[in-house]
Amino acid sequence: MKLMKYMIPGILFGIVMTKSEAVSWFRIQEMFRFESFHMYGIIGTAVILAAIMTWLIKKYQGKTLSGDQIVFNPKNMSVPRYLIGGIIFGLGWAMTGACPGPMFTLVGHGAWTILLVIASAIAGTYAYGALKSKLPH
């Protein structure tokens, strides 16, 4: 039952991904062709507001609902891991027009072929896990 509360941000996330049109394959093409500010506006607003929120939570030692300190884990530094992984992700993002959040949202639209995209993304995740030790990190 403690997990049920996560339905609130989840439902809101599906609504905002749709109403912002970030789920649109057309919007992703438009973004990578630099023909509209729309997607940059969404991500830019989110980054700036999230940065202010993160700074405030750190400064005032924000607590979770259950009273624990909210922590932000720093990421380990590496160049190849983030650059190569990022390029592979970007190729897939521009191809399918969907990053993982929108993929799930689109299932709710009744876009059934997205289930194949999700299945392939799970297969890709599995392949990464299997090859992890052989890849530069």
Partner 1 sequence: MNFIEFVSQPWHWSVSGAVIVFVMFLLLWFGGNFGASSNLRTLCAIGGAGKQVDFFKFNWKGQMWNLVFIGSAIIGGYLATTVFASPEPVQIAQETQEYLSTLGVSTPQTIEEGNGYLPQEIFAVKNLLSGRNLVIILVGGFLVGFGARYAGGCTSGHAISGLSNLQLPSLIAVIGFFIGGLLMTWLIIPFLFTI
Stretch 66-95 residues interacting with partner 1 (CB under 8 A):
66, 68, 70, 72, 74-79, 81-95
Is residue 1 near partner 1 by the rule CB under 8 A?
no
Is residue 60 near partner 1 by the rule CB under 8 A?
no
| Binding residues for partner 1, total number by CB under 8 A | 113
CA distance 11 to 105: 9
Is residue 61 near partner 1 by the rule CB under 8 A?
no
Is residue 15 near partner 1 by the rule CB under 8 A?
yes
Q: Which of residues 90-119 bind partner 1 (CB under 8 A)?
A: 90-101, 103-114, 116-119
- Measured CA distances, 70 to 25, 51, 62, 124 (Å): 35, 15, 6, 31
Is residue 130 near partner 1 by the rule CB under 8 A?
yes
Q: Which of 135, 25, 29 is nearest to 85 (CA)?
A: 135
Q: How many CB atoms lie within 10 A of CB 82?
A: 14
